[in-house]
Amino acid sequence: MTLSDAFRPASDIRINPSILAADFVNMQADLARIGTADFAHVDVMDNHFVPNLTFGLQMVERVQATSPVPLDVHLMIDDPARWAPGYAELGAASVTFHLEAATEPVALARALRAIGARAGVAVKPGTPVESLFDVLDEFDQILVMTVEPGFGGQSFMPETMPKLALLSAEARRRGSAVWLQVDGGISESTIAQAAEAGADTFVAGSAVFGAHDPDAAIAALRSTAQQHAH
């Protein structure tokens, strides 16, 4: 660890609670419980790309109007080129679509940036990341799924860590500012290994909303990630 690493600012770590684990009929109250988060992570599922259904533009527009923190939208949907721009237009700070579902990922990322959102691309646990190396600068965030997308409360898959380390090394080599996000099974007992592998942006659903004090859970996750970050 170098001196500059030791003084890495806390803002280099982002903790994004997933509202999939919130109470859907008390969303306003649950959003108010995560005021110390960096972003609210919003899981949009279409029952085609993943075998589960959540909510769409209309609901996310209300969440956007109500959330104390910016939105980090994670689209687990087919045909993202059709739908993703709408989430950027309603004001989501970050919109992430799946590489497996996109026909022209770079063109879609450019469209999202043109609207003013951060552009993210996500990969499922079995999807290689090498095809992203030459286009890293086209994205603001790469999401390495640490569970199979579709449901909250699943167990973290440590076998995804080598892929994250590869991306992290490649981003450093290229001097890229891309954020590396992990999503699925992130808790006090798994966040350290994800930070060590190079993640800087952490989604946590059950670990935050399942806690008695969500802001305390966010602080604990942030502190552990900080201690294990590069």
Residues that bind ligand DX5 (CB under 6 A): 18, 20-21, 41, 43, 74, 147, 149-154, 183-186, 203-207
Q: Minimum Å distance from CB 45 to Zn ion?
A: 9
Helices (H), ranges, 33-160: 57-66, 80-89, 105-115
Closest distance between ligand DX5 and the C-beta of residue 2, in Å?
A: 32
Q: Nearest approach, Cβ of 83 to ligand DX5 (angstroms)? A: 16
Minimum distance between the CB of residue 4 and ligand DX5, rounded to whole angstroms?
Answer: 31
Rounded Cα gap, residues 65 and 90, in angstroms? 9
Tell me which of ligand DX5, Zn ion, none is bound by residue 68, counting a contact when its beta carbon lies within the kind-specific cut-off of 5 to 8 angstroms.
none
Under DSSP, the state recorded for 53 is B
Choose between 139 and 209: whose C-beta lies nearer to ligand DX5.
209
- What's the CA gap between 192 and 120, in Å, rounded? 23
Identify residue 13 by its one-letter amino acid code: I
Residue ranges in 7-147 assigned as alpha helix (H): 27-32, 57-66, 80-89, 105-115
Catalytic residues: 43, 183
Of 14 and 74, CB closest to ligand DX5 = 74
The footprint of Zn ion (CB under 5 A) covers 43, 74, 183
Which two structure tokens, joined as six digits, stand for 174? 């290229």
Indicate the DSSP class of residue 46. B
Strand-pair partners of 123? 144
Q: Which is nearer to ligand DX5, 33 or 74 (CB)?
A: 74
Residue nearest ligand DX5 (C-beta atom): 205
Residue closer to ligand DX5, measured from CB, 132 or 186: 186
Distance of CA 84 to the CA centre of its chain: 15
| Paired residues of 120 in beta bridges | 96, 141
